[in-house]
A and B are shown apart, each in its own frame.
Chain A
Amino acid sequence: MDARQKEKIASLILHLITIIIVTPVVLIFVLVLVRGLPALTPEFLFAMPRDGMRAGGIFPAIVGTIYLTLGTALFSIPLGILAAIYLNEYAQRNWLTRVVELAIINLAGVPSIVYGLFGLGLFVTFLQFGASILAGSLTLAIMTLPVIITATREALSVVPRSFREVSFSLGASRWQTVRHVVLPNAIPGIITGAILGLSRAAGETAPILFTVAAFYLPRLPRSVYDQAMTLPYHIYVLSTQVPNVSVKVQYGTVLVLVGMVFIMNILASWLRARLRKRKTW
């Protein structure tokens, strides 16, 4: 067999393997859509669960997930942006910066269930927030932080050096330069990264198991110290804890969560595409 034939065979095998990886992704979407769509009635989306969650709607879980995602955004976005500004605009290349970078890498790598333990130890028990939206949001915020820092840093670093130099030469201070020159040019990139980070947080289950998730709570949360039902935990409950749940209810809940996560992802991609088109430098 000569080298050309070998190349043809190798290319074919690589092609097949790649198809084997990507096909299930498509199948999963088709499956969730086909089985989930019939469940999506106004009642399912906007009513309280009934019959031990086997009927009725998933409204409290949807609201809980939205509250948690907003809470996560509130803590992680300002902190993440400031941290990225420090790393990209202020920090010198020294040991401290290196340690900060290693810390970020490690935060990104800590298993999600360990965040759950940490949230339970610090927020729920030590700070006595109890299992609550506050404790859950803070836990998810720390978990999301690395994503937001990394994305913001990237957005800041593509703003040309000359922009800053011009601003400095006009007598602006470093903060004025960041505030009026660098940040406005980086905002779309930052928003894209933040949305992607939050879409991850919205789908997480392990960190919220002991910090906020309620098994069954057929009312809306009244304060940040309240527990809440959430979509990911509700899927877990429906597929492993409650017997005889109809397939329709299960797939319907999955479809709503996947839909929420995907709307956020599509929004982020759209923003990124628009940003690329507009960029003139």
Chain B
Amino acid sequence: MKRPFDFIIEKLVFLSGIASIIFVILIFIFLIKEGLSLFSQVSVQSFLFGVNWYPISDPPQFGIVPLLLGSFFVTFGAIVIAVPMGLAAAIYISEFAPRWFANVLKTGIELLAAIPSIVLGFIGIVTLAPFLKTVFRLPSGLTALAGSIMLAFMAMPTIVSIIEDAIVSTPKSYKEGSLALGATRWQTVYRVIIPAASSGILAAIMLGIGRVIGETMAVLMITGNAAVIPTSFLQPVRTLTATIAAEMGEAVAGSGHYYALFAIGIVLFIISFIINLLADMFLHRNGQGKKKR
């Protein structure tokens, strides 16, 4: 007894429902379509393991090792800073802070998430870079360290909110049991709550890495943009994302350089795909734990 209008609209609803799948596939197809053309000019090995990124020299060299290392340096630094601090903040907000103060802190962290990355990049150039320059007596403050600090800050909202969710969703009985046995709140946090929330913490780390490795504009502006193999955090570096953003404007459509930037896009897409699957796996494991309650 379906009316024809219902039939059409329900088909439309279904199509919109699966549109996300179509878009993921389309993104992959268009990256592959342009990116794979590179490998008629250079080999996959010389792309993935080449140590020189000289896209406009003659002959050009498209080795992404310096860029991979740049991304790795900046991401590693950011995660080392952001995870312990984010964990601390999440614990403080959910277990120690008075209610009103917790709300103030949460609003502050939400505000941070709303600031566009280009604005943080600008703020980084005018405040963080000069600060690091003076402190470490560098020729320029635009370094891997500046990028790491900035990205740690930008990953904070993701990390804090996911860990906080994980802490809040640990069964109340665990906490009450521990307190009833005479443990202090701090003992309860690190002996009971953190182990119980470990899946959520892992998911937060994965999503934090995803957020950091994909960040483009702030990194482009404050890491100094030198596509060389980094040996120290006080050197300028160039990440995968920043390379695409900085060079696509000058790359001639259809040139090796143009294809190479799309090939970097494939690398980024695959990295983010794996990270998100892992994060989802951890979150899912957490969800199953909840059902057992």
Contacts and interface: CB of A to CB of B under 8 A. Distances in A.
Interface of A: 3-4, 6-7, 10-11, 13-15, 17-18, 20-22, 24-26, 28-29, 31-32, 79, 82-83, 85-87, 90-91, 96, 99-100, 102-118, 120-122, 125-126, 142, 145-146, 149, 173-176, 199, 202-206, 209-210, 232-233, 235-236, 239-240, 247, 250, 254, 257-258, 261-262, 265
Given A82-B16, A86-B18, A265-B114, 14 more contacts: A3-B187, A15-B97, A18-B92, A21-B108, A96-B18, A105-B279, A109-B276, A110-B269, A111-B214, A111-B272, A113-B241, A114-B265, A209-B248, A240-B125
Interface string B24-52: 10110011011000000000000000000
A24 B244 contact: no
Interface string B59-89: 0000000000000000000000000011011
Contacts of B10: 90, 174-175
B119 A107 contact: no
Nearest to B123: A28
Contact of B214 (A10, A87, A112, A149): A112
Contacts of A206: 216-217, 241, 245
Given A173-B6, A210-B249, A109 B24 contact: no
Contacts, number: 251
Interface bracket on B:
35 or more
B2 A173 contact: yes
A232 B221 CA distance: 13
B248 A254 contact: no
Nearest to A35: B126
Contacts of B91: 14
A239 B122 contact: yes
A90 B269 CA distance: 30
Contacts of B88: 13-14, 17-18
**Is chain A's binding surface mostly helix, strand, loop or mixed?**
helix
Contacts of A114: 27, 31, 214, 265, 268-269, 272
B213 A111 contact: yes
Interface string B247-285: 011000100000001100100110011011101100000
A176 B6 contact: yes
A102 B17 contact: no
Interface in B1-16: 1-3, 6, 9-10, 12-14, 16
A254 B119 contact: yes
Contacts of A109: 207, 210, 214, 272-273, 275-276, 279
Nearest to A23: B108
Q: Which 8 A-B pairs have the closest CB atoms?
A: A203-B116, A86-B17, A111-B214, A82-B16, A121-B30, A14-B92, A109-B276, A7-B186
Nearest to B210: A109
A224 to B, nearest CB: 21
A258 B119 contact: yes
A100 B85 contact: no
Given A20-B85, A90-B10, A149-B20, A113 B122 contact: no
B9 A145 contact: no
Contacts of B136: none
Contacts of B189: 10
Interface in B87-127: 88-89, 91-93, 96-97, 105, 108-109, 111-112, 114-123, 125-127
A159 to B, nearest CB: 17
A199 B110 CA distance: 13
A82 B20 contact: no
Given A149-B20, A203-B119, A122 B26 contact: yes
Contacts of B2: 173
B21 interface: yes
A117 B186 contact: no
A4 B249 CA distance: 60
A83 B31 contact: no
22 contacts: A10-B189, A22-B109, A25-B108, A25-B115, A31-B127, A82-B17, A86-B14, A86-B16, A90-B13, A103-B23, A105-B279, A107-B24, A108-B276, A109-B275, A110-B269, A113-B216, A113-B244, A113-B268, A118-B30, A199-B114, A206-B217, A209-B249
B96 A15 contact: yes
Contact of B30 (A18, A122, A261): A122
